Amino acid sequence: MTILVDTVGFGGRFFAEAFEDADKEPQEALQAIGAGRFSVLLGAILPDAMPSLITTSVFALEKAVRSSVVLGLVGAGGIGEELKVAFDLFQYRDTSTIILAIFALALGMEWLTDRLRKRLQ
């Protein structure tokens, strides 16, 4: 839940910036021919802001996955908590397996987000 609240706040801030930075000329052109606010949003703002929205969303997903490990280390559950328990009990085989799993997860997320960025650009 903490990660969700953090990610929504992070994404919302960047989404608002992307909407504000959208090119004004297409918006004015649509308004000049009588388009409503929703039409301007769909026809001018979203197409201009979409690359930034996609990049921010993918970055937020990566950040959330990495944060989940860190939060687990401080007692919030998940794989980070398993790592802490394995460290505390000196179970080095389990510890190394968990570290390798976290590393594989990070690499997998990196690979997935790179493919998404290339496909959506």
Domains and CATH numbers, the chain: 2-120 (1.10.3720.10)
| Residues above pLDDT 70, as percent of the chain | 98
The 10s digit of each residue's pLDDT in 47-105 is 999 888 888 888 888 888 778 777 777 777 777 788 888 888 988 999 899 889 888 88
CA-CA-CA-CA dihedral for 38, 44, 49, 50, to nearest 10: 80
**pLDDT of 26 above 90:** yes
**pLDDT of 106 above 90:** no
Per DSSP, 22 falls in state: S
pLDDT of res. 23: 93
pLDDT of res. 121: 67
